[in-house]
Structure 1
């Protein structure tokens, strides 16, 4: 999914979860290997693990339905 599909127009106005530090970043600040996102709000970034798990579940279900 691209940023546009997540409702994000400007990458500088996004929030990221830094998996190394556990902190929320405004805009991409750290190395991409340490970032999860982008997210539209700080609250979404704080729930990064939960959101990623939900997206992965949906993708698995879509792939299973295609088979």
Structure 2
């Protein structure tokens, strides 16, 4: 499942960015607002999932 998620993550993120851009250029203000919020939520979800998938790195002291 993680492998499938990793394969689809870039496409999902790209689609969310495109939808966000199209939403702000649309004709109806309510549609733009809601579509933009939806796209931003998807982008946040993608970042959270990527953060959870990354192995934690030990902090280096200087």
Q: TM-score range by the shorter chain?
A: 0.3 to 0.5
Q: Give 1 or 2: higher strand fraction.
A: 1
TM-score (structure 2 length as normaliser): 0.39
TM-score (structure 1 length as normaliser): 0.36
Q: Give 1 or 2: higher helix fraction.
A: 2
